[in-house]
Structure 1
Amino acid sequence: MIATPGHGTDRAVLAPAAALFRGLGDPTRLSLVRELARGEARVVDLSTALGLGQSTVSNHLACLRECGLVDFRPQGRASVYHLTRPELMDLLIAAEALLQATGNAVALCPSYADSAPESCALVPAGLGQPGE
């Protein structure tokens, strides 16, 4: 996809990667991924942890589920959500390393900085640091 030589600027080849990053490009969805990296959780637990309404959390989980990044299992009347792809954590750890290497320059970029605080960590503490 990204590192495939010989494709030049073929937008169709890059479209899936762009869609993935758009899916992860929302601070609420990143927060949900961070929480789910800690372990499985119900919507009510995620709502409480993030201080968001249950409908907001449910809508963002639906988006992440459609992307194949999270799924759920029924538990009584509730659904318990979990991350489906361990590679997602590798991606977020690499993003943390990139942010550190650039001094969070993207947070100062006028095109992308409107909702990204400089101190925002993509990966929960203790779940892996760049270089580990």
Structure 2
Amino acid sequence: MAAADVVLVVDDDADIREAIRRIVAKCGYSALTASDSRAALRAADAVDGPIRLLLTDVWMPGDISASTLAGRLAGRYPDLRVVYVSGLSKELAVDKGLVGANASFLEKPFTPARLVETIRAALGDSGTGIR
């Protein structure tokens, strides 16, 4: 893992966002956080270097959906990986048109181990867990 591996965590629930940030940091990644899509875009503007992973809640407050956010960031960072997180099942999120059928998806509630596994799989990182 390179020192520049940045994970952008977007969730409107401050407790969930902070818990994910702590786990991401314990895995050795640099974690940015945002409460909505507009804040995520501002955070991306402020970061020096590429963002490797967008870990975003499916339901976003405001006028920019999670999938639109992912598309905008993918335009800036061609190697960006995206994991959608939701209390909905993936099947329901796909049925509602919130994510594509091939999207990486993590259903809430999840354990820290499951979060780490999902992050590592999305990034192709062979690390063994929380450090």
TM-score (norm 1): 0.28
Larger Rg: 1
**Which structure features the higher share of strand residues?**
2
TM-score (norm 2): 0.28
